[in-house]
């Protein structure tokens, strides 16, 4: 019932050239019409783009809200997965052209993190920059909106950077918390753990009291934790210091390498927790991170719902995949490694030490779940 939903809280997340007005709470969808109308000024057309994972109840409520605001709704057809590819952007451009959507109209995207990346890219390019509102279908997508990642080209992910952000985001946190799958929970847990190592503002948000209530499913606490995490991720990603922004690569090099191996049936986002565990140990081996910080991160991941995965890999294959992953966008091998809690920087890794850690990881993970 509507009266049982948590009351939404608003946060403005700044980025270069503008800001994203964010509403998080149980009644966030019911307040979409007001924000959509405010975004457009004079409502004309709204192009609705929904991913395959968008719940029917979400979509129906959004349609009602757009109608209440006075928009003429145009429904776009989402491309086939994987969504976050530049080839899919061309398909959407054609649909926007055929529907006569202009920069004064609103694009409403509903979906996961890949949908957010695609929608940000398309909205940023269409007619010199369109009006984008996103409704994430999981918490990973909500965090993605604060720092949209690059689109892939063909089979290669993350090559074409996106320099656009949503203007509005509505996060129906009650519904997302109650419907998230174990995989979605693990992805969200890994992102929270990553941010807690990257920036102390996130560390401070994840207090012992907050963690206890969060794990117990307290919806009010979820809002009070999620809002500062959204702000922190946006501020880190858009820092004037490129070294700070690169901190969000922490854990991703290993995750992408592992996901690329034959027989590994996981997406890189599913493997971020493994990447955090591995790269924290590399940082510790280099003398950059305290052992206790590694153990604390391990405990946080498990507590939030991101356990170790029962995976096996050949050390030589994984080492080669790590080099491919790290060098996909740069000519040098570097990993984003924590120097201490709250500080993560790119650093080179000695080949002998890297090989040693890869061998240790392969030996330990092959025993998980046995």
CA distance 325 to 183: 23
Whether 217 is covered by a domain: the verdict is no
Alpha-helical runs (H) found in the chain: 32-40, 56-69, 86-98, 113-125, 139-146, 173-179, 182-198, 200-205, 208-215, 219-237, 242-245, 252-259, 272-285, 291-304, 315-326, 351-365
Residue 48 shares a structural domain with residue 168: yes
pTM for the structure as a whole: 0.94
The DSSP bridge partners found for residue 151 are: 160
CA distance 332 to 304: 34
Whether 195 is covered by a domain: the verdict is no
CATH number at residue 108: 3.40.50.1970
Residue 44 shares a structural domain with residue 130: yes
Whether 27 is covered by a domain: the verdict is yes
> Given 180, 213, 236, which residue is the final one in a domain?
180
Q: Print the domain residue range for 128.
A: 2-180
By the 10 Å C-beta count (0-12 exposed, 13-18 middle, 19+ buried), 51 is classed as buried
Phi/psi region, residue 276 (left: phi>0; alpha: psi -120 to 50; beta: rest), is alpha
Residue 231 shares a structural domain with residue 157: no
Residue 176 shares a structural domain with residue 246: no
Strands 9-15 and 18-25: antiparallel
In order along its 370 residues, the chain shows pLDDT tens digits of: 345 899 999 999 998 878 999 999 999 999 999 999 999 999 999 999 999 999 999 999 999 999 999 999 999 999 999 999 999 999 999 999 999 999 999 999 999 999 999 999 999 999 999 999 999 999 999 999 999 999 999 988 999 998 789 999 999 999 999 999 999 999 999 999 999 999 999 999 999 999 999 999 999 999 999 999 999 999 999 998 989 999 999 999 999 999 999 999 999 999 999 999 999 999 999 999 999 999 999 999 999 999 999 898 999 999 999 999 999 988 999 999 999 999 999 999 999 999 999 999 999 876 554 4
Whether 285 is covered by a domain: the verdict is yes
């Amino acid at each position: 019932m509507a009266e049982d939903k948590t009351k939404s809280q608003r946060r403005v997340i700044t980025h270069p050239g503008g800001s994203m007005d964010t509403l998080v709470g149980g009644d966030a969808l019911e307040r979409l019409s007001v924000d959509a109308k405010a975004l457009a000024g004079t409502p004309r057309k709204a192009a609705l783009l929904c991913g395959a994972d968008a719940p029917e109840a979400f979509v129906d409520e959004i349609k009602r809200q757009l109608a209440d605001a006075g928009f003429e709704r145009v429904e776009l057809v989402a491309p086939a997965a994987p969504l976050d590819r530049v080839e899919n952007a061309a398909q959407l451009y054609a649909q926007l052209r055929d529907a006569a959507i202009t920069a004064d109209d609103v694009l409403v995207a509903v979906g996961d993190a890949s949908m957010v990346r695609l929608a940000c890219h398309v909205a940023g390019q269409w007619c010199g920059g369109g009006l984008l509102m996103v409704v994430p279908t999981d918490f990973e997508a909500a965090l993605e909106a604060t720092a949209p990642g690059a689109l892939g080209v063909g089979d290669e992910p993350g090559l074409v950077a996106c320099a656009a952000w949503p203007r509005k985001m509505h996060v129906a946190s009650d519904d997302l918390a109650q419907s998230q799958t174990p995989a979605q929970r693990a992805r969200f847990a890994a992102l929270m753990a990553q941010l807690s190592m990257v920036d102390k503002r996130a560390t401070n948000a994840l207090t012992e009291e907050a963690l206890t209530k969060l794990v117990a499913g307290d919806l009010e606490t979820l809002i009070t934790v999620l809002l500062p995490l959204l702000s922190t991720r946006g501020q880190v990603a858009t820092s004037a210091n490129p070294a700070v922004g690169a901190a969000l690569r922490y854990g991703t090099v290993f995750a992408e390498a592992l996901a690329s191996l034959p027989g590994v049936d996981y997406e890189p986002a599913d493997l971020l927790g493994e990447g955090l565990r591995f790269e924290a140990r590399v940082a510790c081996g280099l003398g950059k991170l305290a052992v206790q910080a590694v153990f604390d991160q391990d405990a946080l991941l498990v507590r939030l719902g991101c356990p170790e995965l029962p995976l096996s890999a050949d050390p030589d294959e994984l080492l080669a995949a790590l080099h491919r992953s790290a060098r996909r966008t740069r000519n040098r091998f570097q990993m984003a490694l924590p120097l201490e809690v709250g500080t993560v920087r790119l650093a080179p890794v000695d080949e002998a030490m890297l090989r040693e850690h890869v061998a240790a990881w392969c030996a330990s993970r092959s025993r998980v779940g046995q």
